[in-house]
Amino acid sequence: MWTTHSEFLGVVRRNLQYPTVGSAAERGLKEADEAYDQDPCDRTLVERNRCSAELVRALAQEETFWRQKSGIRWAKDGERNTRYFHSLLQKRRFRGTIFGIQHEGEYLTDPIAIKDLAASFFQRLLTAEPVFPEEMDSEHLEDGLTDEDRRFLCVMPTLEEVGEAVFSIDPDSVAGPDGFGAVFFHTCWEIIAEDVFGAVTEFFRGEQMPKGFTATTISLIPKTASPTCWSEYRPISLCNVTNKICTKLMTIRLGHVLPKVISLSQSGFVPGRLLSDNVLLAQELIHSLESRRPDGNVVFKLDMAKPMIGSVGSSSIKSCSERVSHNAGLAWWLVLFHTAGSRSW
């Protein structure tokens, strides 16, 4: 695209006729210092101050860039320790690079073969046929929601509600395939608020979101220090912020009513409950196995290796949500989240 611009060749010619030693901001400040030493007047002083401010701004931008690339969130602004950020970035890249993988008794090191195997393995994992039946009997599901709760779940979001969802997203979170991170939405919210609000309300009216909105990038996170097989990697989806906004709105709303419809035995991922409760309960149960009983003791250990969202069919999600909420709109939104979108590796 840049080659078609009328000033493209002129910009290249002007920038290549000078030797590049150091940064442009540093070179400009050096020239301004020399000019002020030769002619110490108000004009050269103003120019030197302007170049100094430009250098400070450029250094701050460089620091922010490398801090974001290195994934450091605790560093303070103004440290400018870019060498440290470089070393952390290199460690992250080294840890995230797959140099070899064990496959069918053979250790593969060819990058192309590793890439093809990764795509094939996780494609099967994430797109396998649902384990649970498509038609599910939801008559026995407990219905603890009031009419007010159902109206709260299905009311159209307001601009203020969308704004709260946007600013609840971590500004340093990794951007999705479109490259626009949450910090862009935070900084430009006054400009893009109406457009984002219009896109969100279209979704809540039942419109299918464009593939660009729901596109995700699959990233593999090592579970161990030295993974050797695909089961030792955890796939995560990097979503666009436009998709996160809708899911945030649904998550915030569902968080208010989940304790009413989820059994007390489920302690994780429910507001107001602690996963540690079940950990302590499991320890007590294991301890009780030491007690002798006439009928014996049995313990089942289940390994939930496959993501549950890939094991549940859309019909089951629709049936359960309609049963609990008594609203087809909420069920349709959840089905859209489950089926929409495309994945890239």
Write the DSSP string, 81-117: -HHHHHHHHHHHHHHH----EEETTEEE--HHHHHHH
Q: Are residues 210 and 253 in the same domain?
A: yes
Q: Are residues 65 and 174 in the same domain?
A: no
Q: Are residues 143 and 38 in the same domain?
A: no
| SS3 state at 344 | strand
Burial (CB < 10 A; 0-12, 13-18, 19+), residue 195, is exposed
Residue 343: predicted pLDDT: 61
- The C-alpha angle 319, 253, 344, rounded to 5 degrees, equals 70
> What residues contact 2, with CB distance under 8 A and at least 6 apart?
8
Instruction: Give the separation between CA 47 and CA 38, rounded to whole angstroms.
Output: 13
> What residues contact 177, with CB distance under 8 A and at least 6 apart?
215, 216, 217, 238, 240, 344
Q: Is residue 252 part of a domain?
A: yes
Instruction: Give the separation between CA 289 and CA 293, rounded to whole angstroms.
Output: 9
Beta strands of the chain (E only): which ranges? 101-103, 106-108, 216-222, 233-239, 343-344
Rg of the Cα atoms in the chain: 28
Q: Is residue 272 part of a domain?
A: yes
Instruction: Give the separation between CA 36 and CA 46, rounded to whole angstroms.
Output: 9
Residue 162: predicted pLDDT: 94
Q: Are residues 126 and 6 in the same domain?
A: no
Q: Is residue 91 part of a domain?
A: no
Q: Are residues 129 and 240 in the same domain?
A: yes
Residue 100: predicted pLDDT: 83
Contact present, 211 and 342 (Cβ < 8 Å): yes
- Residue ending a domain, among 70, 88, 118, is 70
Q: Are residues 164 and 254 in the same domain?
A: yes
Would you say the C-alpha torsion 42, 44, 47, 48 has a positive or negative sign? negative
DSSP 8-state code for residue 232? G
Contact present, 179 and 344 (Cβ < 8 Å): no
Q: Is residue 76 part of a domain?
A: no
Q: Is residue 93 part of a domain?
A: no
Q: How many domains does the chain have?
A: 2
Q: Are residues 132 and 249 in the same domain?
A: yes
Q: Are residues 55 and 201 in the same domain?
A: no
What percent of the residues of the chain are helix, what percent strand, and what percent coil, each to the nearest 5? Answer: 55, 5, 35
Q: Is residue 248 part of a domain?
A: yes
Instruction: Give the range of the structural domain holding residue 18, as residue numbers without chain letter.
Output: 2-70
Contact present, 193 and 163 (Cβ < 8 Å): yes
Residue 313: predicted pLDDT: 56
Q: Which residue has the tokens 């020239």?
A: 31
Residue 214: predicted pLDDT: 79
Residue 227: predicted pLDDT: 84
Q: Is residue 227 part of a domain?
A: yes
Q: Is residue 259 part of a domain?
A: yes
Q: Are residues 175 and 30 in the same domain?
A: no
Q: Are residues 130 and 176 in the same domain?
A: yes
- The C-alpha angle 17, 22, 26, rounded to 5 degrees, equals 100
Q: Are residues 218 and 298 in the same domain?
A: yes
Q: Are residues 112 and 167 in the same domain?
A: yes
Mean pLDDT, consecutive 10-residue segments, the chain of 345 residues? 73 67 69 80 82 76 63 50 62 72 84 86 70 54 70 85 92 82 88 90 81 81 83 84 87 81 77 82 83 77 58 59 57 58 59
Contact present, 162 and 200 (Cβ < 8 Å): yes
This model's pTM is above 0.75? no
Instruction: Give the separation between CA 236 and CA 246, rounded to whole angstroms.
Output: 18
Instruction: Give the separation between CA 217 and CA 243, rounded to whole angstroms.
Output: 13
